[in-house]
Structure 1
Amino acid sequence: MTTRTGLPATEAPGRRSWLGRHSELGVCVLLLALGVLVLADALTMDVDITQRGPVGPRTVPVVVGAGLLVVAALLAVDVLRGGRGEAEGGEDVDLSEPADWRTVLLLAGVFLGAAVLIEPLGFPVAGGLLFWGAAFALGSRRVDRDPLIAAVLSLVTYAVFDHLLGVPLPGGPLMGVL
């Protein structure tokens, strides 16, 4: 049961701190910092003077950075006026359960491992390890098919990006084969 202020009935309005009642301001600060970073990077970008057309390489970053600043300001105004985001209904999540930090740490480790291994081993091998490690961290224990699926996903991703899209990825030992 909640009171008219939206707080649980067991919690008096004066008991929560001001920052606790306005915790969404943290998102505003994050958006503000990101907007300033994007704008600073865009405005200090070294650009060739001889650009063609009205849209140069700074246009999109400046628009995105300005958009982030506008969203941060609008969200801050809404929060300070008493607006609050709706709590997640937990459609398929049990909100009473604690976070599964083991899975989070395994995924972070797999991601960092792939980032370290991508240069010496190449994308196909590091990507395969990333896909297989992510499947393992998320609970799959099918050692008969998971490595095969990971290898196919990684090789297809490499081929699409490197050959079809023209985005060069490090090939590693498989550079000459593919």
Structure 2
Amino acid sequence: MTTQTTDIPDTPSDERRSWLREHSELGVCVLLLALGVLVLTDALTMDVDLTQRGPVGPKTVPVVVGAGLLVIAALLAVDVLRGGRGQAETGEDVDLSEPADWRTVVLLTGVFLGAAALIEPLGFPVAGALLFWGAAFALGSRRADRDPLIAAVLSLVTYVVFNNLLGVPLPGGPLMGVL
């Protein structure tokens, strides 16, 4: 006994959804196009000093980046419309059936926001040490004897490199007056 199936023609909205699903990479093209237009508009309306020295002025890099974004958006759109598809990520060892670890995400977000709020009153060395220690804790390290020491050294070295060697002023906080 054979079973007959009848193909019911898809409605136009079903066909449109199917086409959009098959060409979903066009969303990236639209994003790149919008970003390119934004960068070019910002670069071309930039007020600059007309007495520049040399052939490269402050508008050059943004114009090149904006034009590059437009070219990449166009080339990607042509590739997608010709049937090109992105390959699925295979390099990561991620079990997609496992739920997201929201506890870690919330802890890291809280540590980051806390460090951002404390950087001005306490200074970078203290806020940075709390950031590094909190991030280590949120990511699973429970070494109370080692983590605070590593966080303090890492924060102080970062402060000295940026503040003293690179000339990027960071808030020192009350401890820097003592040291």
Provide the TM-score with structure 2 as the length reference: 0.78
Structure 2, gaps ≥5 residues long: 1-14
Q: Which residue of 2 aligns with 1:81?
A: 82
The correspondence of residues 1-178 of structure 1 with structure 2, limited to 5 A, is 17-177=18-178
Q: Could you say if the C-alpha distance between residues 95 and 67 of structure 1 is closer, same or farther in structure 2, counting changes exceeding 3 Å?
A: same
Give the CA deviation at 1:177.
Answer: 4.9
Matches of 2:167 and 2:52 in 1, distance apart? 23
Q: Which structure carries more helix by proportion?
A: 2
Partners in 2 of 1:105 and 1:21 — Cα distance?
35
User: What code does the residue aligned with 1:48 have?
Assistant: D
How many residues are treated as equivalent by the alignment? 166
For 1:60 and 1:15, the matched residues in 2 are separated by 39
User: CA-to-partner distance for each residue in 1:11-42, whole Å, 9 max, x for gaps?
Assistant: xxx79633222222222233223223322332
CA distance in 2 between counterparts of 1:30 and 1:17 reads 21
* Aligned alpha-carbon RMSD (Å): 2.5
C-alpha separation in 2, matches of 1:27 and 1:49: 37
Deviation at 1:160, TM superposition (A): 0.7
Which residue pairs with 1:3 in the alignment?
A: none
Tell me by how many angstroms 1:92 deviates.
2.1
Runs of 4 or more, structure 1, over 6 Å off, are none
Matching residue's letter, 1:70: V
**Residue deviations 1:125-147 (CA, integer Å, cap 9, x gap):** 22222212221221112222112
Deviates more, 1:144-153 or 1:37-46: 37-46
Quote the Cα distance in structure 2 between the aligned partners of 1:66 and 1:175. Answer: 46
Change in CA separation of 1:72 and 1:47 when aligned onto 2, cut-off 3 Å: same
